[in-house]
Amino acid sequence: MWKAVIFVSIVSLLHSTFSATQYRSYLRLVEQPFAGVLPLDILLQALLSLLLALVAIVNVCANFKEIRALDDLKYKSVETISNRASFYCFNHRGRLL
Residue 91 scores a pLDDT above 90: no
**DSSP state letter for 30:** T
Q: What does the domain layout of the chain look like in residue ranges?
A: 2-96
Cα separation of 53 and 57, whole Å? 6
| 14-59 residue pLDDT tens | 999 999 999 999 999 999 998 889 999 999 999 999 999 999 999 9
Is the CB of residue 5 less than 8 Å from the CB of residue 56?
Answer: yes
> What's the mean per-residue pLDDT of the chain?
87
Question: What pLDDT was estimated at residue 97?
Answer: 65
Instruction: Note if the pTM is more than 0.75.
Output: no
Q: Which of 86, 88, 83 is nearest to 73 (CA)?
A: 83
Residue 90 scores a pLDDT above 80: no
